[in-house]
Copies of this chain bind each other. A is one copy, B any other.
Amino acid sequence: MTAEIICVGTELLLGNIVNTNAAYLAQQLAKLGMSCYYQTVVGDNRERLLEALDAAAKRSDVILLSGGLGPTQDDLTKETVAEYCGKQLVMDEESKKMIEAYFAARDLKPTENNWKQAMVPEGCKVFPNHNGTAPGIAVSARKNHFLLLPGPPEELELMFEESAVPYLREMSPSVILSQTVKTCGLSESFVEQQLRDLIDKQTNPTIATYAKTGEVHVRVTAKADTAKEANKLIKPMVKELKARFGNSIYSADEGVTLEKALADLLSSAGLTISCAESCTGGMLSATLINVPGISELYKAGFVTYSNKAKRKLLNVKKGTLQKYGAVSSQTAEEMVKGLIAETKTDVGLAVTGIAGPDGGTKEKPVGLVYVSCNVKGKVTVKECHFQGTREKIRRSSVTTALMLARICVLEYLSKEILK
């Protein structure tokens, strides 16, 4: 079964946005075991979209389209696909209700053109949009299946997972399953080297590495007639990976992020946590609070961007700031000690650094970051030298803080067991 991707939007043709939807959809098709040989971008233009649809329909079974489902006049993906398939547009009552509810919740009044979004090709399957107003659509004509998805990535991705994956799974005769083993604190080339022998002789399952900020994920993918058989192929490989990478693996579950793994670890040990941040400016707390249900563990956070706030809220000594500076091992240590004194949590995490683009000196360049962790009074400070943009340095700092907390808590727990 072959598929291809058509992304519709003038902003793509003008280069105003980068086509992350194409990359996302391509990854998803690969996961589903569908071969994809073409991606096309066209503008919101009937004739050119018809031409692209015709070319795609001749060479692929499934055609994924993104964009052009909005309420405005220049959004014409749905109308053009319906025309190409020879289908009429009809009002979908369920979608109409969802749009009404969406506007009511925001105290806004829908305008006449909003109802255009509730019109769908006759006989299609409607995918609900839980992050916006444009429903998705699956419509089949001749040998082709067209899936129409909204352009905004958060709408497209949620809808793809919720509705398009089950729809496409039903079409595909064989099952492709993956399991992702997630490591932190290792370099991609190190991980690859450790796996060289397995990669060289791989057939089914296959393994591949993916680098993220501070993390390397190893994906094990197997193809079989049933999910059960695929899982049977995956299991021994995952076991082997666990043997090779041990504690560097924080999860073997696709859905578990590093912050979730840390939250689970804290939760199982009955430990509470709090954060104090300078250069990350709230990003560390915000990342931890990504985890639903964290309120049991996460007690409070301080964004102490100024020296005054570090002194007043965390009791960092004036002398320390003067002698060593706000970005120093000493300040990081006092921050995390003051944090625990203030919040009385079991674990404290603090970050101070220079995210740039300004503020760097020869001795303390942009990218110098200190991360400190306090577990039941034992303080560990890590000095880091990151590179990249302000955003990248802040992200790297957050990941490093989460990794440090994980290691320090594991150490604490192993000592507790030996007691």
A contact set with B: CB distance below 8 Å: 10-20, 22-30, 36-43, 45, 48, 52, 55, 70-74, 102, 105-108, 110-111, 113-114, 130-132, 152, 154, 158, 178, 187-190, 192-193, 199, 208-211, 219, 221, 275, 277, 279-286, 288-290, 292-295, 298-306, 308-309, 312-313, 343, 356-358, 367, 384-392, 394
Contacts and interface: CB of A to CB of B under 8 A. Distances in A.
A409 B189 CA distance: 51
Contacts of A305: 289, 294-295, 298-301
Contacts of A367: 105
A390 B292 contact: yes
Contacts of A12: 22-23, 26, 39
Contacts of A219: 11, 16
Contacts of A113: 189, 192-193
17 contacts: A13-B36, A15-B23, A22-B41, A38-B42, A72-B188, A111-B187, A113-B193, A130-B388, A130-B389, A275-B282, A279-B289, A281-B282, A282-B286, A283-B289, A289-B303, A292-B357, A300-B309
Contacts of A25: 15
This chain's copy number in the assembly: 2
A301 to B, nearest CB: 3
A106 B389 contact: no
Contacts of A71: 188-189, 192
A159 B26 CA distance: 28
Contacts of A356: 292
Contacts of A45: 37
Given A11-B210, A40-B40, A73-B199, 12 more contacts: A10-B208, A14-B36, A14-B221, A15-B24, A16-B210, A18-B19, A70-B188, A105-B386, A154-B388, A275-B303, A290-B390, A299-B306
Q: Which of A39, A221, A293 has the most C-beta atoms of chain B within 10 angstroms of its own C-beta?
A: A39
A114 B199 contact: no
A310 B367 CA distance: 33
